[in-house]
Chain A
């Protein structure tokens, strides 16, 4: 089997993997030095990233090289590179570890990205609750600045680049790139309507590229070892290794950086398999917004953008939520529905009004007060939200509802008919509302 942890987690074997010294031991900042020394052409870097088949690691999976190519990099005036470290999709906790254990690789990736798209300033938007990662990242910034990788005329190249941390303050929606920009501008995190896209009109109205933490942290490794090397780590169109957050009912929950295309069964084994005495029931493969996949389909699925797509779901951020046969799907969906209700920014009518409606109906079903027409109503409401909002939060709220009912309708129906759960529960069930 291929060696794990070859990209973002490549320093993980060190005692203090986050130091500049240790990062240098794996070749850190060599790529940056080379680029600045050779004055590598920006289009060449973009070409390499394109060839690597690196796709956005934050959820949407958009090809990174293509995204960079959209930037009007020759246009005069300020341009920005922004890193999206507002990790908050339930089931996702990889960016936190990248910043805790390999912050320099992210910094190097951001400097290279800034160079490539013609930006002289970058911001890393880190969710506010990440006190430790913020501190680590800030320390790394100090080290990088002292080493001459940040500031004016970096390494005598004439290239200027400043990088700052910007904390969030508790809003999932800021992980949406335009909401993040609004937040960075000191406003509520309400997504912008697109077009215009950030590449044309981004931070402060200037051209801006926004990438996920893992995406940017992958860049130095790609350029160090070559696009082909990276591409071949994964499968065609699904280049590289990717961190999967294995959570839920597994024996060894954790972040696993593995080749894209690895069969789910193998990944599950890495994570220690499902709990003793239980059977796999279902998996949410990419974070709570991606459709749930029943066990039998999942066990046949390859962990890649295309593979999971074929299984009717999405790779998303690589947040694999494993549910065994003790899971009540109504209760699980209720919790997920509450999340989107709580996190809706309130801007668009369907999401503002619809997410609360969804949650309340599912809450009623979970609490034994379901009505016969509820399931069709849920599907209908979800479909009326789906695709009808400015950002994808509406879709994210709708997808679990539709997929849970599609695959586990009998369980929901049982709840409505009997006022209780089909699955035996550890805890006695009482009337309960979140929030």
Chain B
């Protein structure tokens, strides 16, 4: 700690601080453009020049370390003259087109020019004009406004891990851009909109839509992944105009993913269900809520009476709130069914009782770890903020290994990435476990028996050593692994490895699934029954809560077939989709995330409650209200909630009453090898594409236009595999899986495991196929045409 004085105010500050940090902590305002607390120091804008005693010239507060006895003057004559001089330089080539600039009203240059600028310009030469660049569907450029602070460039290098923007040219001709035109590939790219202090980089979908001062900020929680980033909804009238991050150091710091930023665009999509409707004689009819609700209750009763109570199935999207989940299962259980689930994409749930499902890890835990083993996870698309924290850990020296079915650039220093098929993945995990047992012979007898034939190879021994030597290792089991038919075995092995290396296991939850677990949106026997099984059983009556079966299930073909054969389908949904239109009997329009209150529980286990920012669209209603009425109409007792907070309190009370989850001690049994396959079969590798994970995202047009999303429609295969299957020259492919056939573009990609075909799920293409990780056969499309 050192003693300094800023503007006469004595301060005791950490000696590692720069003047600007000390000033910020003390609430003393120093103007700045290039400085940002989360980025490296560039000291290039010169706006933060301050007077420091004993220095003959003004010094940049952002880059001048505090020293004992230092006296800083932020508003002395010297400081003000320097700051005014810089402001004048910034403005001479700035277009001053504030009236048509989206940044107007929230522009750091505009704000500071009020304080430091002059009314009349002394610059009578011509102003610089810079051509705009197209950098994709999310970000609008207006580079003439750029003041070259390089925050966006530093963000790419330091936070996103991918340097896409740079400053080309030099001097007055320096320009920020990509040089060769292309869309930004970072899943965090939208943050440069917030970072840009002027209107050079603004939100493309938000362009010309509203003025900063016309909107009200409403705090909320992003529902698309298990991070639950803090966001602010900017609302004008009854419309969410945009989404920006809300500072929350313990969750998302000051960033959000593009997914969380641009999902709001789906709120207004034309697919939006905004009136209750019922299908009569195959024709959809508008109706009032009362009629629709009564029709729902009666319809379900009729089917149940005819086919048995257990013929009722209730499925819920993992993006639903805690309160919605609780009422959903309470109502359905009241109707006499236990067939309830939110684990829509899981194919293997034998380990459902294990404690690791509820492991809570804070983002700080992740950033502070010193070794990470990623198992079957596309972490950058699954949970971009988790990816960012792992990257920070890697930059601080954590050793990163990945075992997956494909290799994607993690944009961080990694030890090694293995791209392997299912058998090898399991073998590797067993190998690591055995290698650790040799170091730490503590595992129980059953495991020793299970693993008795395993001889770890050098790779496995290597990973085991790295985990064993780490003080805080983390294993992450991601969506690819969790959605695998052998997922329970994968998770159990990961847990075993974790226990032996004294690490933390993060079974990456989907969206709000932690909350829905707590709310018991689960079958009575969660380790033997699941959504995937229920679809196969073709239940007669269905209640869907924001579920679009063609996209939100592990096996779209089976789900679609079950929809077709159901006697009565209730959709409490936000959007119309093909399967709802064709097979539902009632649609009860559901309010979306910005329109309802509720609670979100992310991977850190924290309960984050939020309220609605806008009224539900059209005649749609918040889920908890719809379910409350359904409960009442169905005469289920104790359904008299006045506010969603009543529901939350009831859940909290019931949890404290409950005893802790017991460890179920799941140990896999042989044989667990992947289904026998012949040489002409490929394993279909599939996870959900980044911008297809829930109904809202699928309607965000800007996200749908991203290159990332376009690529999700393409099948990928290792060139050697293609060679073996005579597909080396094929550009299109026919994929057959059982009865399902799909024609799709093919890309050869050496990062895909051999013997596998990668096609992301929840897309227009994948909906035509069966279960992920099933076996498929492929043939070139041209060959078929010839035959």
Q: Do chains A and B touch in the complex (CB under 8 A)?
A: yes
Which residues of A approach B to under 8 Å, CB–CB?
Answer: 171, 173, 188, 193, 195, 341-350, 352-357, 360-361, 364, 371, 373, 377, 383-385, 387-390
Residue of B nearest to A343 (CB): B171
Interface status of B538 (Cβ within 8 A of chain A): no
Contact A388 B85 (CB under 8 A): yes
- Contact A349 B171, beta carbon cutoff 8 Å: no
Task: Please name 11 further chain A to chain B contacts, defined as beta carbons within 8 Å, in addition to the given A195-B65, A354-B89, sorted by A numbering.
Answer: A341-B171, A342-B171, A343-B171, A349-B89, A349-B90, A356-B125, A356-B171, A364-B125, A371-B124, A373-B122, A388-B57
Structural contact, B171 and A352, CB atoms closer than 8 A: yes
Residues of A within 8 A of B616 (CB): none
Interface string of B13-47 (1 = CB under 8 A from A): 00000000000000000000000000001111111
- Given known A-B contacts A352-B148, A387-B58, A346 and B171 have beta carbons under 8 A apart: yes
Q: Which residue of A lies closest to B84 (CB)?
A: A384
**How far apart are the CA atoms of A173 and B174 in the complex, in Å?**
14
6 A-B pairs within 8 Å (CB atoms) are namely A353-B92, A361-B125, A385-B85, A387-B57, A388-B49, A390-B43
B182 part of interface (Cβ distance < 8 Å): no
CA distance A361 to B122 in the complex (A): 11
Q: Is the interface of A mostly helix, strand, loop or mixed?
A: helix
Q: Are A344 and B170 in contact (CB under 8 A)?
A: yes
* B contact residues around A385 at 8 Å (CB): 85
Q: Assess whether A349 is in contact with B147, with CB atoms less than 8 Å apart.
A: yes
Smallest CB separation, B165 vs chain A (Å): 14
- List B contacts of A357 (CB < 8 A): 89, 92, 123, 125
Decide if B360 is an interface residue (CB 8 Å cutoff): no
Bound complex: CA of A383 vs CA of B46, how far in Å? Answer: 14
Contacts of B65 in A (CB 8 A): 195
Bound-complex Cα distance A287 to B57 (A): 24
Residues of A contacting B93 in the complex (Cβ-Cβ under 8 angstroms): 353
Q: A388-B85, A388-B86 are in contact. Are A193 and B60 (CB under 8 A)?
A: yes
Which one of A345, A349, A371 contacts B46 once the chains associate, using CB atoms below 8 Å? A349
Give the interface size class of chain B.
35 or more
Known: A193-B43, A387-B58. A171 touches B170 (CB 8 A): yes
Q: Is there an interface contact between A353 and B44, defined as CB atoms closer than 8 Å?
A: no
Least Cβ–Cβ distance between B116 and chain A, in angstroms: 12
Counting CB contacts under 8 A, is B209 at the interface?
no
Q: Select from chain A the residue with minimum beta-carbon distance to B33.
A: A349
Q: Which residue of A lies closest to B123 (CB)?
A: A357
Question: Which residue among B86, B90, B173 has the maximum number of chain A CB atoms within 10 Å of its CB?
Answer: B86
Task: List residues of B (123-174) whose CB comes within 8 Å of A's CBs.
Answer: 123-125, 147-148, 167, 169-174
Chain B positions within 8 Å of A390 at CB level: 43-44
Chain B residues near A195: list those with CB within 8 A. 65
- B46 and A360 within 8 A (CB): no
Cβ-closest chain A residue relative to B149: A349
A360 to B172, CA, bound (A): 12
Name the one of A188, A193, A356 contacting B172, with C-beta atoms under 8 angstroms. A356
Determine the residue in chain B with the shortest Cβ distance to A196: B65
The answer, yes or no, to whether B82 is at the interface (CB within 8 Å) is yes
B63 touches A (CB below 8 Å): yes
In the docked arrangement, what's the CA distance between A383 and B147, Å? 21
B88 pairs with A346, CB closer than 8 A: no
Least Cβ–Cβ distance between B202 and chain A, in angstroms: 21
Shortest C-beta distance, B49 to chain A (Å), equals 6
Partner of B58, one of A193, A354, A371, A388: A388
Complex CA gap A193/B64 in Å reads 10
Residue numbers in A under 8 Å from B60 (CB-CB): 193
- Which A residue sits closest to B125, measured CB to CB? A360
In the complex, A341 Cα to B173 Cα: how many Å?
10
* Distance in angstroms between the alpha carbons of A348 and B147 in the assembled complex: 10
Q: How far is the CA of A349 from the CA of B92 in the complex (A)?
A: 11
Determine whether the beta carbon of B125 is less than 8 Å from that of A349. no
- Whole-angstrom CA separation of A316 from B90 in the bound complex: 31
Tell me the residues in window 268-302 of chain B with beta carbons closer than 8 Å to chain A beta carbons. none
Residues of B within 8 A of A344 (CB): 170-172
Q: Is the CB of B167 within 8 A of A346?
A: yes
Q: Looking across the interface, which residue of chain A has its beta carbon closest to that of B87?
A: A349
Min CB distance B47 to A, Å, is 7
Q: Is the CB of A188 within 8 A of B170?
A: yes
Q: Chain B residues with Cβ under 8 A from A342's Cβ?
A: 171
Tell me, in angstroms, the Cα distance from A197 to B660 when the chains sit together. 58
Per the bound structure, the CA–CA distance linking A357 and B171 in Å amounts to 12
| Residues of chain A with a CB closer than 8 A to B42's CB | 193, 347
* Beta-carbon nearest neighbor of B124 in chain A: A371
- Cβ of B122 and Cβ of A193 under 8 Å apart? no
A193 CB → nearest B CB, Å = 4
Q: How far is the CA of A390 from the CA of B44 in the complex (A)?
A: 7
The smallest C-beta distance from A180 to any residue of chain B, in angstroms, reads 15
The list of the 6 closest CB pairs from A to B, nearest first, reads: A384-B85, A346-B174, A387-B57, A353-B89, A344-B171, A360-B125
A231 to chain B, nearest CB (A): 30
Are A350 and B89 in contact, CB atoms less than 8 angstroms apart?
A: yes
How far in angstroms is the closest Cβ of chain A from B726? 44
* Contact status B46-A388, CB under 8 Å: yes
* Known interface pairs A195-B65, A344-B171; A384-B89 also in contact (CB < 8 Å): yes
Bound: A350/B85 CA distance, A: 8
Instruction: Report yes or no: B46 in contact with A353, Cβ–Cβ below 8 A.
Output: no
Contact A353 to B90, CB < 8 A, known contacts A193-B43, A360-B125, A390-B44:
yes
In the docked arrangement, what's the CA distance between A33 and B7, Å? 59
Output the least CB separation between A247 and chain B (Å).
25
Query: How far does the alpha carbon of A373 sit from the alpha carbon of B120 in the complex, in Å?
Result: 14
Within the complex, what minimum Cβ distance (angstroms) separates A402 from chain B?
15
In the assembled complex, the Cα of A338 lies from the Cα of B680 at a distance in Å of 70
